[in-house]
Amino acid sequence: MTIRQDKRKAIFISLFCMFLWGSAIPMIKMQYEFLSIVKGDIGSRLLVAGIRFFIAGLITIFYFKIFNREEKVDFKNLNYRFLIKIALLQITLHYIFYYTGLFYTKGVKASVIQSFNAFIIVIFSALLIKGDGLNKRKLLALCIGTIGIIYVNSGGDLSTSFSLLGEGAIIMAITLNGLATVLVKKEGAGINSFVISTFQFCVGCIPLIVIGLMLKQTVWTINIKGILLIIYGGFVSSTAFTLWYMVLKNQSAGEFGIYKLFVPIFGSILSVIILGEDFNIRLLIGFIMVIIGVLVLNKKL
């Protein structure tokens, strides 16, 4: 297989991962509704997240057994310090901020703020990975995309449309996610992608479950819809993260990080279709600017 074909395959896999992550935005909102989790119950939200990632860990182990039979893993010589770091950044801290912020923000708006994740990955790649520095087209793409994101979230008066629990928490979440993504590329190249995913889920979920049980206030309404959504969430996480880490092993984090811009696009479309949320002209213009940023980043000046 040629390098060009490999890259095309990597792009297709990346877009599939972004679609899965985009579908998580309305899915999480629906989880809360079906389980009757009230707005102020942060404990229940964290507990749901922990259970979801525990299931994701089990699914990833299944993937490992089915699709990774030939490669043997030397568990005695694994870089456990790196694995613990990724588990805390990518799962525990990232999702404490993300789930909190998503609950206090409309799905469409949250998905647009997530666009900034792509630019954070580009910046961290330039700072931490040799040979993946900033250039003219990256800087121009960053400016165009950032302006688009600010425009979408301004609403005419930024002070009336921004909250620390909502938008602020999501910004912190995508920053942690961007850092973890680049660290996987920099330090995890020699570690099996299934191992990284399994470890981050199984270890990262523990603090979420413990804290969730301590703070939980709501008596959940257990029903088949809520259970199926949690299982689907586990499938989304296990599949998307494992495939994404495979892509990062052989591709530039700074270049492929831009495909994270498609998460809010898919998320917004699915939020409008599934949740019936509004899609106005401001969001449309912001998305167009973000897409222009992607095109600029891929075009040689």
Residue 123 near residue 239, CB atoms below 8 Å: no
Q: Which residues, at least 6 apart from 192, have a Cβ–Cβ distance to it below 8 Å?
A: 64, 68, 71, 73
Q: Would residue 145 be called left, alpha or beta, if left means φ above 0 and alpha means ψ between -120 and 50 degrees? A: alpha
- Model pTM score: 0.85
- To the nearest 10°, report the CA torsion of 28, 234, 87, 78: -170
Where in the chain are the domains? 26-135+158-252
- To the nearest 10°, report the CA torsion of 206, 44, 194, 82: -50
pLDDT of residue 158: 45
- E strands, the chain, are none
The vertex-104 CA angle with 99 and 105, nearest 5°, equals 95
pLDDT of 241 over the 90 cut: yes
- Reported as a single tens digit per residue, the pLDDT across 5-14 is 587 788 899 9
What is the distance between the alpha carbons of residues 212 and 199, in angstroms, rounded to a whole number? 20
Band of residue 289 on the pLDDT scale cut at 50, 70, 90? confident
Across the chain, what does the average pLDDT equal?
A: 83
pLDDT of 87 over the 80 cut: yes
